[in-house]
Amino acid sequence: MSDPIVQASSLTKIFKRGQSEVLALDHVNITVSRGEFIALMGPSGSGKSTLLHLIAGMDKPTEGTLTVLSEQPALLSERALARWRNNHLGFVFQAFNLIPVLTALENVELPMAEAGVPRGERRERARSLLDYVGLGTRGSHRPTQLSGGEMQRVAIARALANRPAIVLADEPTGELDTATGADILALFRRLNGDGTTLIVVTHDDRLAAEAGRVVHMFDGRVRS
- The domain 4-222 is placed in CATH, from the list 2.40.50.140, 3.40.50.150, 3.40.50.300, 3.40.50.1010, at 3.40.50.300
**In the chain, what is the straight-line distance between the N-terminal and C-terminal CA atoms, in Å?**
15
CA distance 39 to 19: 34
Q: Whole-angstrom Cα distance, residue 13 to residue 36?
A: 25
Domains of the chain by residue range: 4-222
- Tens of pLDDT along the chain (224 residues) come to 468 999 999 999 999 988 899 999 999 999 999 999 999 999 999 999 999 999 999 999 999 999 999 999 999 999 999 999 999 999 999 889 999 999 999 999 999 999 999 999 999 999 999 999 999 999 999 999 999 999 999 999 999 999 999 999 999 988 888 888 889 999 999 999 999 999 999 999 999 999 999 999 999 999 86
Q: What is the pLDDT of residue 2?
A: 66
pTM as predicted: 0.94
